[in-house]
Amino acid sequence: MENSRDQGRRELAAFLRARRGEIAPRQVGLPGGSRKVTGLRREEVAHRAGISVDYYTRLEQGRLPAPSGGVLDALAHALLLNLDQRDYLRSLADRAPARRRRPRQQSVPEPVLEFLRDLSATPAFVLGRFLDVLAWNDLTTELFTDFGALAEPERNYLRMVFLDPLMRERLPDWDYGARQCVSVLRMDAARYPSDPRLAALVAELTAKAPEFHHWWATHWVAAKTFGVKSVHHPKTGTLHLHWQILTVAQDPDQCLVVLPPADEESRANLALLSRRRRRH
């Protein structure tokens, strides 16, 4: 059976290969021309990072332990990694058993639950590790689904996005949002590589959702931050909502997702849905 250290080497190697394959030579001032490989050659990355070709090759083959912080920084520069990708690279390298993170029990603090209950005019919900939906308010149920009616293992935002046909109907920008979710899961996977919950989720989605299988293999990563989301509701049409991520102080693995309206029409439609929800 593959241990955590071997898994870390394999994931680090796959990430390096994926990023190298996406960099056009002209992005780093090299001539393009006819090439047998997509992206940069190994020797080009090694030269940019100031390391030997043999050392870099063995890293890409998963034959070496995680490199030092200085080498990681050099690789991040050589591969044009953004801040999220740099964090992911360092998480992959942090695989020493003594420092390996152990998952906490996912329990939403009572003050956060109280805050959710008080948000009657704004959809909001709490995500835990691997995008498990841990808590929600009534308007979130109105926008997406009745999370309380789902079995706990099915109460996962990523799983719903890929496997629930209703989510494809509700999210006009489904492709972008789904890929963003996969990128977020990659960040969590680097922190908790041996969690059986992660293994089960990835196995299920790989088997049932071809898009997930493709995007998971690209090793794209992104942190949960902010943006604008469109949600189509059969009663009001499309709502445009800001989404903002707030980390829960008591547990950094949890975040509060708040979805205030992005325009006046959406604000009025949210108010309509809120009144409708209260009547029922």
Task: Report d(CA 101, CA 192) in Å as an integer.
Answer: 6
* 36 vs 89: which has the higher pLDDT: 89
Residue 224 CA to residue 185 CA, distance in Å, equals 10
Q: What is the pLDDT of residue 111?
A: 94
Phi/psi of residue 104, nearest 5 degrees: -90, 160
Higher pLDDT, 98 or 110: 110
d(Cα 180, Cα 127) in Å, to the nearest integer? 14
* pLDDT band of 101, cuts 50, 70, 90: low
pLDDT bucket at 92, cuts 50 / 70 / 90: confident
pLDDT digits 0-9 by tens, 112-138: 999 998 988 899 999 999 999 999 999
Measured CA angle at 136 (ends 131, 142), to 5 deg? 110
Q: How high is the mean pLDDT of the chain?
A: 89
Rounded-to-integer distance, Cα 211 and Cα 182, Å: 10
In Å, how far are 71, 110, 163 from 125, measured between CA atoms? Answer: 39, 14, 20
Per-residue pLDDT reduced to its tens digit, 222-237: 876 888 999 999 999 9
Could you tell me the CATH superfamily of domain 4-99? lambda repressor-like DNA-binding domains (1.10.260.40)
**Residue of 243, 255, 244, 167 whose CA lies nearest to 211:** 167
Fold held by 110-279: Beta-Lactamase (3.30.450)
| b/e code 249-267 from CB counts within 10 Å (16+ = b) | eebebbbbbbbbbbeeebb
What are the boundaries of each domain within the chain? 4-99, 110-279
Higher pLDDT, 240 or 96: 240
Q: What is the pTM of this model?
A: 0.83
Average pLDDT over residues 205-212: 97
> Cβ distance 188 to 198 under 8 Å?
yes
Task: Give the β-pairing of 255-258 and 237-247.
Answer: antiparallel
Q: Is the pLDDT of residue 96 over 50?
A: no
CA dist 167 and 229 (Å) reads 13
